[in-house]
Structure 1
Amino acid sequence: MDFNLSEEEKLLKDNIHEFLQKKLRPIMRTIDQEERIPREFVREAGKMGIWGTVFSKDVGGLQLPMTSAVLIAEELGWADFSLATGVMYVLEEGWGYVLDRLGSSELRQEVLPKVVEGEYFLGVASTEPTGGSDVASIRTQAIKKDGNYVIRGQKIYISGALEAKEWGGGHLVLAKTNPQEKHKGISIIYVPTTDERVKVTKINNMGRMGISTAIVNYEDVSVPQKNLVGEENKGFYHAMEGFNHARVLVAGICLGAAKAILDQGIEYIKNREAFGQKLKDFQAIAFEAAELYTRLEMARLLTYKAAWALDKGVKDAHVIVAMAKLTAPQVALDIAKSVMMWMGGYGYSKDALIEAGFRGIVSYLVGAEGAMNIMKLIISRGILA
């Protein structure tokens, strides 16, 4: 059992860290305040291969394993701990993986090279007003007509809808192709958001301000049948595969954000004085720092194992992934909360930027890529079956 990164992994991590330290960390505040990820950064990141880490080489990807994708996710979370850029990465990699593996050759070549270059945005449209975690209950329909699918329905809390509308690209839409069935009647269909019959309305979130969240209405949007991803009526199972890959990347993003925030906190308590001594010399703070550092390392090891399990095709990989998704966001939130309290009034201010991380991390506890109770449900079914 070897816990060391390979030479290739070290080189990848170092190169990405250096790039993000120069290009992303300095604009984190701007991303949060102006509520957008600059296109020039997205394109530069594309040249680094960031948006196509796990994609096949024939579409411009690096074809690296999920373990490498998690290393990049950590670096993105560290560089932009508001999580906006991390959200984009989770979507491009997690759902681009599904399109790359299951899409037709024509569709893959049409969409994925532009995603890799940072020209297109790619996401998933699953959640509806009637529910998010209960995927089987979706009502959006895809009706076959004249060799096309006609999509009709509404999605909500969809990430990147404004980016896809403005930049190009679209979403993998979960829709009922056999409405009489529940989860066995769902298909995944790629729908370009630039279609004029796709209507997008922005939702104002509390965090991860640099990437949009929206209500998306599909008003009889007609797309060719080649846009079907995977098998018809097998979309539920394909989506679960996508969620597994997205969730382990979420954990990686949260690890990076937590490290960035904890590093700031440790530096603060090593230098800040109160009552004639450094804050680090107060046992209450020192012990709390020790516990948080340990929990972060535990979450990291669990996340790495989850990525490894996906790469190896381990039978219960989805359970380990759920454990990582359950753990990493909670650890990250606890770190953000504690560091804000160590810093007092400064930590509560926007100058410290900790609050941006706090706001972003919360999204991964309340529901994005699966709420905490859903992770517990997956784990409990796995260990009690």
Structure 2
Amino acid sequence: MDFSFSDEQQLLRENTAEFLEKNLQPFVRSIDDNGEIPENFFKKAGENGIISPLINGKYGGPGLSFMDSVIISEEIAKVDTSMATSVYYLLNTSWAYILQKYGKEELKGRLLPDIANGNRFIGIASTEPSGGSDVANITTTGEIKDGKVIINGEKMYISGAVEARKNGGGHLTLVKTDKSRGHKGITMVYVPADTEGVEITKLQNMGRMGISTSGIKYDNVEVPEENIIGKINEGFYYSMDGFNHARIMVAAACNGLSVKMLDEGVKYIKERSAFGKKLGDFEAIAFEAADLNTEIEMASLLNYKSAYMADMNDPDFYIFSSMSKLTSPQIAMDTVKKVMMWFGAYGYTRDSGIERSARGIFSYLVGAEGALNIMKMIISRAMLK
């Protein structure tokens, strides 16, 4: 069993880190303060093949692997620790993959090249005001009539709606096309954010300020039938496939954040003195650092296995991606919390940047590609089937 990265992957990590240091790091504070990632960042990232790396060469993308995509996700989270850029990357990577896998050729040819070069956003719209985990019971409807899909309903807590309208793009939207069939009556449809009848209301989050969270209302929204992804009434399965793969990127971002926070914390406790000793000389702190380092390493290895299994098309990969989504956000939150406590009062200030990480990582604890108890349900069902 080989646990090493290839020379190409090592170079990908180094080049990605260098690119982000130059093109993202200078804007990290302003992204959180102003609530916006610089638009030209996406275009530059597209030029470097790191905004939607799973898109293959046929559509202008680099055609990288899931393991490669995990490497990029980790590096993004190390730089923008608010998690905003990580969320943008996660959506463009995972849902472009679903579009590429199931979409009609005309739609893929029209959308994927712009997604790959950073000129178009793509996300997922599944969560509704009644909740996000119970996808089977969505109420947004899609009536197929005269070559069009007519959509009515409401989605809530949708990431990237403002960016999609501003920068171009839209969401793979789940609609009920057969109310009598439960989850077997759901269809996935690509809905551009600038379509007539789409109303976007931005919500105010506590963190990850650089990417919007919104409610979206659909009032007799009409899109061409060609925008249906895959087959009618099979959208539930496409969305589950997307979420299973997206969880790998979520875990990677959490692991990247954990590495960055621990590195900052260890640097601090090696330099900071109290009671005549370096903080790192106190076993209470040094042992915490040892525990965190071990947990982060375990979480990273688990997620690398998830990415490997996804690349191998192993049918059980979803179990391990769920394990990663269950584990990595909790370890990241614990890392941020303990490092903030090492820093003391300074860790609580905005100048330290740690509070920015705490606000951002919470979004992956409360939901984002599945709540933690949903991960436990998936894992336990796989064990007991």
TM-score range, shorter chain: over 0.9
Q: Does 1:101 align with 2:98?
A: no
Structure 2 residue aligned with 1:41 = 41
Q: State the Cα distance separating 1:196 from its structure 2 match.
A: 2.7
Tell me how far apart the structure 1 counterparts of residues 129 and 374 of structure 2 sit (CA, whole Å): 18
Q: State the Cα distance separating 1:258 from its structure 2 match.
A: 1.1
RMSD (CA atoms): 0.7
Structure 1: gaps spanning 5 or more residues: none
Structure 2 residue aligned with 1:189 = 189
Structure 2 residue aligned with 1:68 = 68
* 2:77 counterpart letter in structure 1: G
Structure 1 residue aligned with 2:206 = 206
Contact 2:151–2:218 (CA under 8 A) maintained in structure 1: yes
Q: Does 1:279 align with 2:300?
A: no
Q: State the Cα distance separating 1:288 from its structure 2 match.
A: 0.3
Tell me how far apart the structure 2 counterparts of residues 290 and 125 of structure 1 sit (CA, whole Å): 40
* 1:360 counterpart letter in structure 2: G
* 1:77 counterpart letter in structure 2: A
Structure 2 residue aligned with 1:294 = 294
Secondary structure in 2 matching 1:187 = strand
Q: Does 1:269 align with 2:269?
A: yes
Structure 2 residue aligned with 1:331 = 331
Contact 1:125–1:171 (CA under 8 A) maintained in structure 2: yes
Structure 2 residue aligned with 1:5 = 5
Tell me how far apart the structure 1 counterparts of residues 165 and 41 of structure 2 sit (CA, whole Å): 18
Contact 1:154–1:218 (CA under 8 A) maintained in structure 2: yes
Secondary structure in 1 matching 2:41 = helix
Tell me how far apart the structure 1 counterparts of residues 311 and 74 of structure 2 sit (CA, whole Å): 18
Q: State the Cα distance separating 1:187 from its structure 2 match.
A: 0.7
Secondary structure in 1 matching 2:321 = helix
Trace 1:95-134 onto structure 2 (pairs within 5 A): 95-134=95-134
Tell me how far apart the structure 2 counterparts of residues 191 and 123 of structure 1 sit (CA, whole Å): 10
Q: Among the aligned pairs, what percent are the same residue?
A: 51
Tell me how far apart the structure 2 counterparts of residues 249 and 265 of structure 1 sit (CA, whole Å): 24
Contact 1:52–1:60 (CA under 8 A) maintained in structure 2: no
Structure 2 residue aligned with 1:243 = 243
Tell me how far apart the structure 1 counterparts of residues 185 and 192 of structure 2 sit (CA, whole Å): 22
Contact 1:52–1:93 (CA under 8 A) maintained in structure 2: yes
Structure 2 residue aligned with 1:380 = 380
Structure 2: gaps spanning 5 or more residues: none
Secondary structure in 1 matching 2:226 = helix
**TM-score, L = length of structure 2:** 0.99
Deviations 1:69-121 (A, max 9, x none): 00000001111110000000110011110001111111011111111121111
Structure 2 residue aligned with 1:303 = 303
Tell me how far apart the structure 2 counterparts of residues 247 and 210 of structure 1 sit (CA, whole Å): 20
Q: State the Cα distance separating 1:210 from its structure 2 match.
A: 0.2
Trace 1:293-372 onto structure 2 (pairs within 5 A): 293-372=293-372
* 2:88 counterpart letter in structure 1: M
Tell me how far apart the structure 1 counterparts of residues 181 and 359 of structure 2 sit (CA, whole Å): 38
Query: What count of residue pairs does the alignment treat as equivalent?
Result: 385
Q: State the Cα distance separating 1:313 from its structure 2 match.
A: 1.6
Secondary structure in 2 matching 1:13 = helix
Contact 1:261–1:339 (CA under 8 A) maintained in structure 2: yes
Q: State the Cα distance separating 1:315 from its structure 2 match.
A: 2.3
* 2:22 counterpart letter in structure 1: K
Structure 2 residue aligned with 1:158 = 158
Tell me how far apart the structure 2 counterparts of residues 316 and 102 of structure 1 sit (CA, whole Å): 20
Contact 1:157–1:215 (CA under 8 A) maintained in structure 2: yes
Q: Which runs of at least 4 in structure 1 moved beyond 6 Å after TM superposition?
A: none
Deviations 1:160-192 (A, max 9, x none): 000111111100000111111111000100000
Secondary structure in 1 matching 2:352 = coil
**TM-score, L = length of structure 1:** 0.99
Tell me how far apart the structure 2 counterparts of residues 267 and 196 of structure 1 sit (CA, whole Å): 53
Q: State the Cα distance separating 1:26 from its structure 2 match.
A: 2.0
Larger displacement relative to structure 2 (18-27 or 363-372): 18-27
Tell me how far apart the structure 2 counterparts of residues 24 and 106 of structure 1 sit (CA, whole Å): 34
Secondary structure in 2 matching 1:180 = helix
Tell me how far apart the structure 2 counterparts of residues 139 and 255 of structure 1 sit (CA, whole Å): 35
Secondary structure in 1 matching 2:87 = helix
